[in-house]
């Protein structure tokens, strides 16, 4: 945000310096000035809605899968360079750019993810004309909105249309949807060097449009991938006594795994074991196959449970398969750790919402979510806060959850995400 000092020369207003200190006599005037700045900040962010929508729809039309976000990466790089920012990019499609602020050493980072899901979407009335043009890829998790909101914030900050007190790093990360995730790549390339805090956001249709959800502590679950290959001895379905039936063994394994949730885990803790794929046989009704494949995920909000779960699963799967005369091969891939929000960073995140939108800016209850997020990698290394922004709107028919084929967002709420980033760039 620019102002003049009477000489006609414009300068950046930077709050938190000696210029912002007030005496008791001038505090009412200072408070009124701050309220005016807040109103202007909201107006500036809201005025970016057409640009946010344009960016989001362009990303939505041309989604790209994890690790191959080449066109997306070029678009972001060109946008940032067009703002006069120097882009840092290694051998991945992810990148970051810095915006320095005179007179401060603190640097806050804002992160947006770039990749789409490996799925096809269906056109809805709200998405008419800009559904995915890349078969087998769709932005059905909202990463298109994340990029658009952060690029809009970068534009407003880089062109001094919004005040800032800190140095800012804009992080655009590839491959959030595919473990081990792109955060590791960017961290190894140095994206956290010199960063004091990092903030991220995810759009969530189950929450009402424009409302925020955030809390300190465990906020999103650790998420691991599980693959089990049950091997037996197949043959004619009329003679099961001569076989070792992997279908029966696999079925028993699916059920036995649930005892880890109901009997090995405290009711006060959380563990979710979900088998999402069962594959076996050729479709013939009278042939029992030699093997059956199971695939799924393991999720928890507890770091200790996260450490113990693989051994529990191997024990249950191995013995259950053996009891059915089969054997099992287990592939367990560590995914993302528990995402733990730092208490101080989260308080600043809440303060930003409160000062922008008041208490009505929050959902009534902010609960942990069992989805996984590799933003957790950053949170393991720096004070971090991850928030959810509601984008659901029943009146517009925008109610489908993330990863649904008819997923959508209420675009009129996205400027609030941009405003949140702007406020955090200026929050003492």
Rounded CA gap, 37 and 49, in Å? 19
**pLDDT (tens digit per residue) in 382-426:** 999 999 999 999 999 999 999 999 999 999 999 999 999 999 999
Residues with a known catalytic role: 336, 411
Range list of β-strands (E), 130-246: 167-173, 197-208, 212-213, 217-220, 222-231, 235-236
Indicate where the chain has its CATH 3.30.70.360 domain(s).
Answer: 222-336
Domain 222-336 has CATH 3.30.70.360: yes
Torsion of CA 239, 245, 251, 254, to 10 degrees: 170
DSSP per-residue letters across 58-118? HHHHS---TT--HHHHHHHHHHHHHTTPPEE--SSS-EEEEE--TT---EEEEEEE---BS
Q: Which pLDDT score is estimated for 36?
A: 63
Kindly state which CATH superfamily the domain 36-219+338-424 is placed in. Zn peptidases (3.40.630.10)
Model's pTM, two decimal places?
0.86
**Residue 331: exposure state from Cβ atoms within 10 A (0-12, 13-18, ≥19):** exposed
Q: Which two tokens stand for residue 394?
A: 């029943």
pLDDT category at 15 given cuts 50, 70, 90 is very low
Quick check: 275 and 299 in contact, CB under 8 A?
A: no
- Contacts with 100 (C-beta within 8 Å, 6 or more apart), sequence order: 167
Q: Encoding tokens for residue 371?
A: 């989805």
197: confidence class by pLDDT, cuts 50, 70, 90: very high
Write the pLDDT tens digit of every residue in 114-149: 999 999 999 988 898 999 999 999 999 999 999 999
Whole-number average pLDDT of the chain:
92
Is 187 exposed, middle or buried, given 0-12, 13-18 or 19+ CB atoms closer than 10 A?
middle
Task: Please tell me the distance from the alpha carbon of residue 375 to that of residue 427, in angstroms, as a whole number.
Answer: 22
- The per-residue b/e assignment along 116-143, b for 16 or more CB within 10 angstroms, e otherwise, is bbebebeebeebeebbbeeeebbbbbbb
The answer to whether the beta carbons of residues 127 and 145 sit under 8 Å apart is no
Q: Where in the chain is the domain with CATH 3.40.630.10?
A: 36-219+338-424
CA-wise closest residue to 270 among 224, 235, 312, 304: 304
Q: Measured between alpha carbons, how far is 368 from 345 in angstroms, rounded to an integer?
A: 17
Q: Whose CA is closest to 99, among 422, 427, 428?
A: 422
At residue 285, the pLDDT reads 97
């Amino acid at each position: 945000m620019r102002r003049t000092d009477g000489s006609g020369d414009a300068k950046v207003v930077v709050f938190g310096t000696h210029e912002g200190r007030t005496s008791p006599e001038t505090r009412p005037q200072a408070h009124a000035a701050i309220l005016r700045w807040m109103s202007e900040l909201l107006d500036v962010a809201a005025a970016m809605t057409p640009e946010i929508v344009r960016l989001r729809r362009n990303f939505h039309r041309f989604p790209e899968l994890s690790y191959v976000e080449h066109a997306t990466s070029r678009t972001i790089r060109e946008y940032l360079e067009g703002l006069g920012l120097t882009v840092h990019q290694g051998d991945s499609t992810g990148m970051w750019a810095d915006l320095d602020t005179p007179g401060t050493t603190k640097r806050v980072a804002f992160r947006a993810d770039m990749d789409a899901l490996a799925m096809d979407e269906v056109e809805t009335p709200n998405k008419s004309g800009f559904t995915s043009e890349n078969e087998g890829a769709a932005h059905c998790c909202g990463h298109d909105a994340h990029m658009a909101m952060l690029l809009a914030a970068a534009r407003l900050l880089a062109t001094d249309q919004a005040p800032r007190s800190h140095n800012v790093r804009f992080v655009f990360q590839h491959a959030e949807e595919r473990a081990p995730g792109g955060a590791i790549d960017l961290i190894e390339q140095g994206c956290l060097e010199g960063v004091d805090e990092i903030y991220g956001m995810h759009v969530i249709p189950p929450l009402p449009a424009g409302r925020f959800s955030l809390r300190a502590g465990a906020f999103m679950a650790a998420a691991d991938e599980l693959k089990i290959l049950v091997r037996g001895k197949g043959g004619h379905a009329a003679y099961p006594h001569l076989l070792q039936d992997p279908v029966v063994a696999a079925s028993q394994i699916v059920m036995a795994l649930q005892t880890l949730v109901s009997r090995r885990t405290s009711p006060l803790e959380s563990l979710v074991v979900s088998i999402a794929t069962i594959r076996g046989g050729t479709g013939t009704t009278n042939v029992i196959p030699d093997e059956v494949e199971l695939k799924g995920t393991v999720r928890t909000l507890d770091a200790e449970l996260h450490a113990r779960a693989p051994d529990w699963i191997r024990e249950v799967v191995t013995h259950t398969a053996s009891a059915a005369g089969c054997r099992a091969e287990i592939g367990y891939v560590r995914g993302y750790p528990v995402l733990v929000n730092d208490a101080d960073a989260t308080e600043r995140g809440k303060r930003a919402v409160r000062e922008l939108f008041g208490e009505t800016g929050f959902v009534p209850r902010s609960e942990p979510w069992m989805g996984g997020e590799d933003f957790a990698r950053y949170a393991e290394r720096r004070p971090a806060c991850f928030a959810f922004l509601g984008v659901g709107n029943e009146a517009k028919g925008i109610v489908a959850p993330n990863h649904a084929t008819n997923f959508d967002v209420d675009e009129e709420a996205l400027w609030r995400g941009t405003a949140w980033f702007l406020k955090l760039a200026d929050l003492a």
